[in-house]
A and B are shown apart, each in its own frame.
Chain A
Amino acid sequence: MPSTRIVVTGLGATSPVGGDVATTWQAMLSGTSGIARLEDEWAETLPVKIGGRVAVEPSEVLDRVKARRLDRSSQFAMVAADQAWADAGLEGSGLEPERLAVAVASGIGGVTTLLANYDALLEKGPRRVSPLAVPMLMPNAPAANVSLKYGARAAVHAPTSACASGNEAIAMAIDLIRLGRADVVLAGGTEAAIHPLPMAAFANMMALSKTGSEEGGDPTRVSRPWDVARDGFVLGEGGAVLVLESEEHARARGAKIYAEVLGAGISNDAHDIAQPDPEGRGGTRAIRMALREGDVDPATVVHVNAHATSTPKGDIAEGLMLHAVLGEHVDRCVVTSTKSMTGHLLGGAGALEAVATVMALHDRVSPPTINLDDKDPEVDLDIPTSRRDLPEGDIVGLNNSFGFGGANVAVAFGSVTGSTK
């Protein structure tokens, strides 16, 4: 692989714990849950009545007429991309459109648009199906809408690998820059699947926790990665976008640099359509590949934003992966699952957690994992329950994502000298 260095120069996010990166990051550091009982009328009919709605409705931020032409997943992507673009100072920077690419993923696509139009078809007939339905619901719509807004003409990609999608988009952005196809990539993921159909489906496959939905239950206590009482994930929604840029391009325009993007690893389990390989062999290969691509010494990996969704098998498998790759160094590695606070954003998860990983390296502090009252004895990792400072010097953070279908994606980020709190 050519050794083009890549850096992160802008961040954007809208999540269950905040409408922007600053709010989201502070909420994560203070261990704030974004999970609540859903206020939607339909939720009362479901076995699972809790979820992580975004803290700030996109309608409060986006132009009304533009927003009504966007599926909710695209709305989140636009909100996050607008923030990232502004944060990176790219407006008026002279960046050529042919050197700007977009890689923004979603796991499920515009599912609420699809189902709303199906309802209209059944209730009122084909004439009532929106002429905008297809461009709104297609899974590449979030990427396409971001590319239209910023005139990105190098490429527009929307990798779909379920819950690994957001992280795969970042891996793809690395390739685009290293292959010389773009200087700057708006990379991220988004998901808006809080709707009775996907929720019923996830609940029926025993993936969602049914805890906390009872009268008087506490929804904030349900997402509990690595805790013995974990019994499934909590569905969240939102999106995040990072500006990845060749270091040369970033330095030439004097951009602020949050972190370096060292390398990515992608592998596949070919084990089961929904279950992870119980030994985590595919994930192990992906993590190892990310470190090798970035020429990373495992001793410098001091932080992992884990995929850990709060499911019984997946959380254990990820611990095995980290032990396999980091060996004895795993003892010095501070591991967190921010899903304990945000719930699982599916295709948005890898991107939001990449933002958290970058912020952790930049501020040299790891967010806690909340609700970890009684750690599963099968998990031998250092998982703080309150924020924990990370060491000085050159440090590396890993962001892991694993998806239904078998995809495993790991991305390694490195601290930038001078970025201390």
Chain B
Amino acid sequence: MATTEEIRADLADIVNEVAGVDADDVQLDKSFVDDLDVDSLSMVEVVVAAEEKFGVTIPDDEVKNLKTVGDAVAFIERSQG
């Protein structure tokens, strides 16, 4: 079972790859849109890459609720659990 920090770090790598955001900036309290400047198409790419990486499904309806990195990490933890 991956720890919260492990999930955050892996997600940070994905956000870095897709949007060029420094992985160290991808912290739990950061908003994808307001803090990290991840636009809507990039967010779809992050979601798809995260599904593949973590072996989870993130429905389109759920994506709008994932405002912060912490929201996404928590969703992934719940889905994996």
Contacts from A to B (Cβ < 8 Å): 63-65, 68, 124, 127-128, 130-132
Contact = CB atoms under 8 A, between A and B. Distances in A.
A127 B51 contact: yes
Nearest to B17: A68
A127 B56 CA distance: 12
B41 A132 contact: yes
Interface in B2-54: 18-20, 41, 44-45, 48, 51-52
A131 B20 contact: no
A128 B48 contact: yes
B48 A127 contact: yes
Nearest to A124: B52
A132 B46 CA distance: 12
B52 A130 contact: no
Given A131-B41, A132-B45, 9 more contacts: A63-B20, A65-B20, A124-B52, A127-B48, A127-B51, A128-B52, A131-B44, A131-B48, A132-B41
Contacts, number: 19
Chain B contact-residue range equals under 10
Contacts of A128: 48, 52
| Consensus secondary structure, chain B interface | helix
B45 A65 contact: no
A65 B19 contact: yes
A65 B39 CA distance: 13
Nearest to B19: A65
A68 B18 CA distance: 8
Contacts of A63: 20
A128 B18 CA distance: 14
A127 B50 CA distance: 12
B10 to A, nearest CB: 18
Nearest to A128: B48
B20 A130 contact: no
Given A131-B41, A132-B41, A64 B48 contact: no
Contacts of A131: 41, 44-45, 48
A220 to B, nearest CB: 37
A131 B18 CA distance: 12
Contacts of A124: 52
Contacts of A127: 48, 51
Contacts of B19: 65
A63 B45 CA distance: 18
Contacts of B41: 131-132
Which 8 pairs, one residue from A and one from B, show the smallest C-beta to C-beta distance?
A65-B20, A131-B44, A131-B41, A132-B41, A127-B48, A65-B19, A131-B45, A128-B48
A261 to B, nearest CB: 38
A61 to B, nearest CB: 16
A130 B45 contact: yes
Contacts of A68: 18
Given A127-B51, A128-B52, A64 B44 contact: no
B63 to A, nearest CB: 12
